[in-house]
Every structure is written in C-alpha cells, then in structure tokens.
Chain A
Amino acid sequence: MKILNCPLNGPRNISEFVWGGEVKEHPALDCTDEQWVDYAVLENNTAGVVREWWYHVPTAYWIIAERNTVTDEIIRTYPARELFKDRVEFPAPAVKP
C-alpha cells in the first residue's frame, strides 16, 4: 500500500486521492488559441521530479505533491495555498447589448 501524506488528514492510502497532473502556469486570460492548447492539452510528461496536483476525495481537498516520476518517490506534500497565494479574479465577460 502506498501512502501519501496529506497536509490536512495526515498519512493516507494513495487510493483515496485522485491525480490531477503537473502544475502548469495558467496563461493570461486573453491568450491565443495556440497558447491555450499548449496549456490545456500538451504535456511536459517529465521523467524526474515534478510538482503535481492531487485531490483527497473524502475531504474534497486539493494539495500539491513533489514526486519523482521515475522512482515513484513522494518527496514533499503541501497545501496548494503555498503556491497560489492570491485569488484569481476572472472578469465577467462583456455583455453585448
């Protein structure tokens, strides 16, 4: 059984979590279609240490884990707020008259 250390719930079986893929930088809201494909579809698929999203399902809690994708070693886990300090404001879409 593989254990992932949840910053909220302590050490838990990894099967309680859902993997969310690598943490990528969100492009600007007015980015081009090509930049959006780059962000939403294309992958780094890194072999080595990566920063990833993980979700603890029973408590609906998103965390970030640093994991080695070759050895499957989990190096560090922490709450997403350590990386994402500011609230992202999405402006309301302009309403056409």
Chain B
Amino acid sequence: MVFALLKYGLNRHYPRVHQFPKPRDLRPSYDVVIIGGGGHGLATAYYLARDWGITNVAVLDKGYLGGGNTARNTAIIRSNYLTPEGVRFYDESVRLYKDLSNDFDMNIMYSERGHFTLAHTDAAIRTMRWRAEVNKHFGIESELIFNDDIAKLCPQLNLSDKARYPVLGALYHVPGSIARHDAVAWGYGAGAAMRGVDIHQRTEVLSVTREGVNGTGGRVTGVLTNRGPIACKKVIQAVAGASGQVAAMVGMRLPIRTIPLQACVSQPLKPFLDKIIVSGSLHVYISQSSRGELVMGGSTDPYSLYGTRSTLDFKEGLMAHMLELFPFLGNVKILRQWAGMTDMTPDFAPIMGETQIENYYIDAGWGTWGFKATPVCGKRNAEMLATGRVPELIQGFTYRRFHDYNQLGEKGAASVGH
C-alpha cells in the first residue's frame, strides 16, 4: 500500500483498471439473455456467473448500463414491510447488501442510518403497530415509538403539536440504510463481465421470437435487437418502466401502469441529519447524502407517463410538507431534480417468476421500491434460471395471483398513498 502510494504518487501514469471490457459483437446465441441492464439484470448475470458457473449470458440494454431507475432512485434500503412475503424477501436483500462492498472489492458506501416512518393519524399508528409486530415475528428490528423517543433520536424534527399534521409516533427501523446506487450497478456489472458475461449497451430488444405459439404460450427461441438477432435458451425481462411494452412482445398483459416518480437534491449542507425520515401521509422522504445534499422525494405523479420531466406541482407539494417537518430549511436551494418511470402494480408487490411461456421469466412491478431488492432479485433469479425451479422465497410474487384474485396488499411500500 505504502509502496504503491509512493510509486504511483511519483509516476504520472496511474494504472487504470478497466472493469468493463470493450464492447464486443453480439454472439449468435447465448444460454441466457437478460433484457434490461439495470441493477436487477446485472445482479442476475453476476449470480448466474458466480454461483452457478453459467457465463454464456448476455445482458442487453437499450441505453447505457444502469441508466434507468437504478440511476434515479433515492437509495433507501430497509425490510420493515407489512406482508410476510415482503418482509422475508427484503430481509434477505438487506443481508446481502451488507456484504456487497466486500464481494465487489469496491465501496458501495452502504451506510446504516435508522429509518423513521412517521405517523400523523390514529389509523397510521395502527398500521405501524401492525407492521412492527409482523417485522418482529420475522426477527427484524422494528418498533413503534412515540414523540419522547423520537425527540431523543432525531432532535432536528419538528414535533410541535401546532403543525398542520402533528407527528404522533413513528415506526423505527434501525437497519434502514442508504447506498450509492450507481456503485451497485457497476459492482454487479463489473463482477459479471469479469466472469465472462457479455454486457451489450445500446442494444434494444425489438421483438421476441417464439415457436409453438398457442395463444400466449409457446417457447422462446430468441430475440431480435437493433443490432441483429440472437438465439437463446432462456430469457428474463428486467426492464422496470418498460415492463408492459416488453411483456407485450410475448403476448402478455400485465397489471402494471408506468407512472413517473420524481426526486430532487438540495445544495450541500454540513452534516446535520443522519436518520432517514419518511412520512407516507405527507408524501415526503428525506435523507442526507455523504456529500451533504438532502435527497428528497414524494409520491408518484398523479397520472401515467412514459417520460421523465419534472413538474412544479411536485416540488410545491413536497416542499410545503417538508418545511413542516424541518422549518429551518426554508432558505435552502434545490440543486438538481429528475424523474424515473416506475412500474406500479395494484398491490404494491413485484411480479417475479415463470410466465405462460416455458422459458421466459419475468422480474417486474418494482415501482418505487425495487432498488432495495436488487441483490435478492439477482440471487433468486439466477437460482431460478439455473435450476428451472422458482425459489420458495419468491413464489408469492407470481403473476398468477392476479388471475386467482389473490393480491398481496403490500401497504409497507413507499411513495404511495394508502
């Protein structure tokens, strides 16, 4: 370390590490084609290569690697959901996240902060108590606390009963964390590429070819891209906001609406807030990044759109509520704003697993909650592609639940009004 520092400190040419090999031509065929090079697609490729030795794999992205919602989220990681299916699933993801920096040998800046979901009504207190009990049952640190404890843990918060919607209590989740979202995509991408996976950027899937089509069924034989056709044995789609459009290529209709979610950051401030604060009723969530910027988001847009524009309505609503919680931020300026296209399901739970098509799998319905699921999705998707069996942990997320009138009702999801 010291010698390296001396050697390269005096040398003008620091050896650059090329984590991603130069783009190659498409091979005519792959064992597995992954549509979508966001965190979910890249993590799936990584675990396929690392844990199952399956490396004849292509990740295809129409844009650049990790440029979709993976690049746009507010990076909150937690497992204090409401349904047993959700709690067990996100808990595995949090555990995987904790080791990722070591796995990648690259700092994803995983930072455990403590996560507060504020309650402003009796109904919300009831839901928090319910969530806390479900969480504790599964061994997750999560409890309902009231204003005396909130004041000790987060003295910055305005707990006055003169506010328009006074805080009555909070669900407190110690393991709630944030991480650097881009690093997660790069770590998975570099780890997959290093093990032989082909990552093809600016490669858009235009259609999916099938044989033995009988209605919506049949078998996939390959995909057609803007760079030519690829034959393959198995396909999984992980395209977030484009889920409905890609599923339509195999004749599937999904219970998904594409709705923008906006976010913004403030100018950098001295560190003053180490906790993550969320209020479902006020449609606000806020945390301070390691650069000092306040990372802020609200609820999804009021209507569907395949676009990433920002609106004044969003900022007005968000800021009005945020100033109730932190009145002293009144003069702070917004630095950047953006949006992502979220794939919203009616029960706020994802859609994973098999489809009516024999060798076509799906990873969709990640809405406003899918960044925290990136590792567990990768791991379990890889297991499913390698073994041909749907892991028990994700069986509850089958698309068939909508046809069986058996939706999940994940009221622990963020950025959605309940």
Seen from chain A, the residues whose Cβ lies within 8 Å of a Cβ on chain B are 1-2, 14-15, 18-19, 21, 33-34, 37-38, 41-45, 47, 52, 69-72
Contact B306 A42 (CB under 8 A): no
Q: Shortest beta-carbon distance, A29 to chain B, in Å?
A: 18
Residues of A within 8 A of B275 (CB): none
Contact B302 A38 (CB under 8 A): no
Residues of A within 8 A of B346 (CB): 41
Contact B405 A42 (CB under 8 A): no
Given known A-B contacts A37-B402, A42-B402, A72-B307, A18 and B302 have beta carbons under 8 A apart = yes
Most buried by B among A18, A52, A69, A71: A69
Seen from chain B, the residues whose Cβ lies within 8 Å of a Cβ on chain A are 244-245, 253-258, 302-307, 309, 311-313, 346, 402-403, 405
Q: Shortest beta-carbon distance, A15 to chain B, in Å?
A: 6
Q: Within the complex, which residue of B255, B307, B403, B405 is in contact with A71, where a contact is CB–CB below 8 Å? A: B307
**A and B contact pairs by CB, cutoff 8 A, 28 listed:** A2-B313, A18-B302, A19-B303, A33-B405, A34-B403, A37-B402, A37-B405, A38-B253, A41-B255, A41-B346, A41-B402, A42-B254, A42-B402, A43-B244, A43-B253, A43-B254, A43-B255, A45-B254, A45-B257, A45-B304, A47-B258, A47-B306, A52-B303, A69-B306, A70-B305, A70-B307, A71-B307, A72-B305
Residues of A within 8 A of B258 (CB): 45, 47, 69
Question: B245's closest neighbor in chain A, by CB?
Answer: A47
Residues of B within 8 A of A72 (CB): 305, 307, 309
* Bound: A71/B308 CA distance, A: 10
Question: B303's closest neighbor in chain A, by CB?
Answer: A19
Given known A-B contacts A42-B253, A45-B256, A47-B245, A70 and B306 have beta carbons under 8 A apart = yes
Given known A-B contacts A1-B313, A41-B402, A19 and B253 have beta carbons under 8 A apart = no
Residues of B within 8 A of A2 (CB): 311, 313
Residues of A within 8 A of B253 (CB): 38, 42-44
Given known A-B contacts A43-B244, A43-B254, A19 and B304 have beta carbons under 8 A apart = yes
Q: Shortest beta-carbon distance, A88 to chain B, in Å?
A: 24
Contact A69 B305 (CB under 8 A): yes
Residues of B within 8 A of A71 (CB): 307
Q: Shortest beta-carbon distance, A22 to chain B, in Å?
A: 9
Question: B247's closest neighbor in chain A, by CB?
Answer: A45
* Bound: A21/B362 CA distance, A: 24
